[in-house]
Structure 1
Amino acid sequence: MAMSTSPTLFELPFFALYIGLLLRLAWIDYRCMLLPDNLTYSLLWSGLLYQLCFIPENLAASVLGAICGYLSLWGLYWIYFYWRKCAGIGYGDMKLLAALGAWHGWQSLGWILFTASSMGLFAVLISKLLRKKSISLTTTPLPFGPYLAIAGGSAGWIYSSFPLFKELNFLL
């Protein structure tokens, strides 16, 4: 969500939609381990439309962000599938990362994935410590959507509040 210092009145519906969809997707994935296409596609298209209407110079980076976001997790899916002979990530996660790429551009994908993965790993480790032997770190499914949503939402807030932070994207 690369925006100027404060959003205009016309940008606010886009931001409300962005936040609302992220919250809804995170909740559904947490409860059902599912990211519905109608919500992930709405998030993706609203991100591209936002870029087109308000920051057209970022549209190419957003389209590339959507493509790279999807393909990065798609590649990871197939590597894991050939290694373990089972799915390790859902297609909804791929679509959600594509939508976040559309909103934030390809440059943000490294931070979003790093943050989401770190939060997911931390949550699993805490869960393992609290539940002791009742969960397996290698076979217990983890809804990744909530962590992607938190990482994407925080990236939007950080980039809008601290524009210089975006220049650190080269680190990942």
Structure 2
Amino acid sequence: MSSYLVLQFATGALPFHYFIFSLFSTLLLLLACIDWYYFLLPNPIVGALTLTGVGLSPWLLGLNVISILITALSCYVLLWLINRLYFAFKKKVGLGQGDMKFIVALATWFDVQQLAIIIISASLTAIPFYCYHYLYSHSKIVIIPYGTFLSLSGIGCFYIYHMPSLFD
């Protein structure tokens, strides 16, 4: 799909702002599907999302690359600490390593406030999924493919926050 998008952009059939949105959405939908079926977020795809975010975010957000990398690293450290504290109290993993890397990849595309909105909206959309599985599954252990909900929230937030600036 990405090759097709690059070809369409190179031939002039796809404007640049649609190319960026399509590339971002393709990566996130791929991650959503893989996480939904396999509970896995592959490092090469998350890495590609991170690299394209670092490359394009100075243009989208108006920040320098160092600032974006510091924000992403701070985000990872904060999530790691929260996960460790949760594990210390509950003796369960609250957030998988793939989900943490995915949130860090999204941190290269969005500022802190927008990232918080993505995490909150992903959590709010995952709650009905959790409730349904808790009530109707034979096992009371529910594993949530949180990357799927992060992907859908990320696509929506990209459309809301970045598409208007791409048209300017």
Match of 2:47 in 1: 41
Match of 1:57 in 2: 62
TM-superposed CA distance for 1:72, in Å, is 3.3
Inter-partner Cα distance in structure 1 for 2:132 and 2:147 = 18
Inter-partner Cα distance in structure 2 for 1:95 and 1:84 = 22
Match of 1:155 in 2: 157
Give, as a single letter, the amino acid of the residue that structure 1 aligns with 2:43.
D
Q: Runs of 5+ in structure 1 lacking a partner?
A: 1-7, 164-172
Task: Give runs of aligned pairs for residues 1-172 of structure 1, distance below 5 A.
Answer: 9-52=15-58, 54-55=59-60, 57-59=62-64, 62-129=68-135, 131=136, 134-136=138-140, 139-160=141-162
TM-superposed CA distance for 1:46, in Å, is 0.4
Inter-partner Cα distance in structure 1 for 2:70 and 2:159 = 21
Inter-partner Cα distance in structure 2 for 1:147 and 1:62 = 23
TM-superposed CA distance for 1:61, in Å, is 5.5
Q: Pairwise CA RMSD of aligned residues?
A: 2.4
Q: CA, structure 1 residues 126+134, in 2 after alignment: closer, same or farther (shift >3 Å)? A: same
Query: 1:147 is paired with a residue of what secondary structure?
Result: helix
TM-superposed CA distance for 1:161, in Å, is 5.8
Inter-partner Cα distance in structure 2 for 1:61 and 1:107 = 15
Cα deviation digits, residues 25-83 of structure 1 (max 9, x gap) = 0110110011011111110110110123x347223653344234323322222112111
TM-superposed CA distance for 1:149, in Å, is 0.7
Cα deviation digits, residues 132-157 of structure 1 (max 9, x gap) = x6242xx3211110011111111111
Q: Residue 66 of structure 1 contacts residue 105 of structure 1 at CA under 8 Å; is this kept in 2?
A: no
Cα deviation digits, residues 58-110 of structure 1 (max 9, x gap) = 23653344234323322222112111223222111011111111111222121
4+ residue runs over 4 A deviation = none
TM-superposed CA distance for 1:111, in Å, is 0.7
Inter-partner Cα distance in structure 1 for 2:40 and 2:71 = 22
Give, as a single letter, the amino acid of the residue that structure 2 aligns with 1:31.
Y
Inter-partner Cα distance in structure 2 for 1:111 and 1:158 = 11
Inter-partner Cα distance in structure 1 for 2:80 and 2:114 = 18
Q: How many residues align?
A: 151
Q: Residue 61 of structure 2 contacts residue 111 of structure 2 at CA under 8 Å; is this kept in 1?
A: no
Match of 1:167 in 2: none
Give, as a single letter, the amino acid of the residue that structure 1 aligns with 2:29.
L
Q: TM-score, normalised by structure 1?
A: 0.76
Q: Runs of 5+ in structure 2 lacking a partner?
A: 1-13
Query: 1:35 is paired with a residue of what secondary structure?
Result: coil
Q: TM-score, normalised by structure 2?
A: 0.77
Inter-partner Cα distance in structure 2 for 1:118 and 1:162 = 25
